[in-house]
């Protein structure tokens, strides 16, 4: 099976909110992340990822419902484990849901979810999502204790946080790549499927291909940035072409 590509559409919504924060539902509000998601699907994206944050800084509730209605691939909803967001997820019924940590003061997600500390809070959310047919993933650092906890909680996937790898250089980068490879192998042994994401771009993604057992990469900022010069369809096709080189 070839390496799948999920496009995170949040940054398109961020651009919209910069001008239309008070009028995001207006017909003239642009860019429309839902329309762009459909362009990405036609270009070969295997799914669309969207993070509905508690502060609604980019994606809005209406965007999520519209995505679920019109997508022909799948909707992967990134979500914090808060009652309001969980309730919305149970109403939307996304194909996939990736539980992530959330800090209102961060620009973007800064690290993996602590499954050990929050085990009791996560368990009922995971059960509720699974019971309605949503495939559950946990966004975690490649730490053995976190991987084991994810398996015990009943997640289907872990999404390994690649931010430390993406931000490191030299020997530190090599060490982070080894951590990811070891984490992926451990996850596979524990019965988990393995996704990866955060900070991945057209330059570093080939290095990540040293990590075994990957099923899907979720990439947003780099593709949306490239789209400003090439167009979204070309940007998605370029990343999909890179993904074909993954041997697993």
Query: For residues 68 and 49, is the Cβ–Cβ distance under 8 A?
Result: no
Query: What range defines the domain where residue 27 resides?
Result: 4-241
Q: CA-to-CA distance for 195 and 1, rounded, in angstroms? A: 14
**Catalytic residue chosen out of the listed positions 11, 41, 58, 78:** 78
> For the chain, what is the domain count?
1
| Residues 6 or more apart in contact with residue 122 via CB below 8 angstroms | 81, 99, 113, 115, 138, 153
Query: For residues 243 and 230, is the Cβ–Cβ distance under 8 A?
Result: no
Annotated catalytic residue 198 = yes
pLDDT for the residue 248: 83
Of the chain, the end-to-end C-alpha distance in Å amounts to 9
Interior angle at CA 178, CA 48 and CA 246, nearest 5 = 45
Residue 19 in domain? yes
**Catalytic residue chosen out of the listed positions 102, 176, 198, 216:** 198
Annotated catalytic residue 213 = no
**Catalytic residue chosen out of the listed positions 11, 41, 51, 58:** 51
pLDDT for the residue 111: 77
pLDDT for the residue 106: 47
Query: For residues 13 and 59, is the Cβ–Cβ distance under 8 A?
Result: yes
Q: CA-to-CA distance for 172 and 170, rounded, in angstroms? A: 5
Structure confidence by residue, pLDDT tens digits, 13-37 = 999 999 998 888 888 899 999 999 9
Annotated catalytic residue 11 = no
Domain CATH code at residue 130: 3.20.20.70
* Positions of the chain with pLDDT lower than 50, given as ranges: 106-107
Residue 187 in domain? yes
Nearest CA-CA partner of 14 in 116, 111, 108? 108
Residue 84 in domain? yes
pLDDT for the residue 115: 95
Residue 74 in domain? yes
Interior angle at CA 58, CA 55 and CA 61, nearest 5 = 75
Q: Tell me which H or E stretch contains 48.
A: strand 47-51
pLDDT for the residue 109: 53
């Amino acid at each position: 099976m070839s390496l799948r590509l999920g496009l995170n559409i949040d940054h398109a919504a961020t651009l919209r909110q910069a001008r239309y924060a008070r009028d995001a539902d207006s017909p003239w509000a642009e860019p429309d992340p839902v329309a762009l998601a459909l362009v990405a699907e036609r270009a070969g994206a295997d799914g669309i990822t969207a993070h509905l944050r508690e502060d609604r800084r980019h994606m809005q509730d209406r965007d999520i419902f519209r995505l679920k209605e019109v997508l022909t691939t799948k909707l992967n909803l990134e979500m914090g484990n808060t009652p309001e967001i969980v309730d919305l997820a149970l109403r939307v019924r996304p194909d996939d849901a990736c539980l992530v940590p959330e800090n209102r003061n961060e620009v973007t997600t800064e690290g993996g979810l602590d499954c050990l500390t929050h085990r009791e809070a996560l368990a009922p959310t995971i059960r509720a999502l699974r019971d309605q047919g949503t495939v559950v993933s946990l966004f975690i650092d490649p730490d053995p204790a976190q991987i084991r906890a994810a398996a015990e909680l009943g997640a289907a996937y872990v999404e390994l946080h690649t931010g430390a790898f993406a931000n490191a250089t030299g020997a530190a980068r090599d060490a982070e790549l080894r951590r990811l490879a070891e984490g992926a192998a451990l996850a596979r042994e524990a019965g988990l499927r393995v996704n990866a994401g955060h900070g991945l771009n057209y330059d570093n993604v080939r290095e990540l291909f040293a990590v075994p057992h990957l099923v899907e990469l979720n990439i947003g900022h780099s593709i949306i940035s490239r789209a400003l010069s090439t167009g979204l369809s070309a940007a998605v096709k370029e990343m999909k072409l890179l993904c074909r080189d993954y041997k697993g």
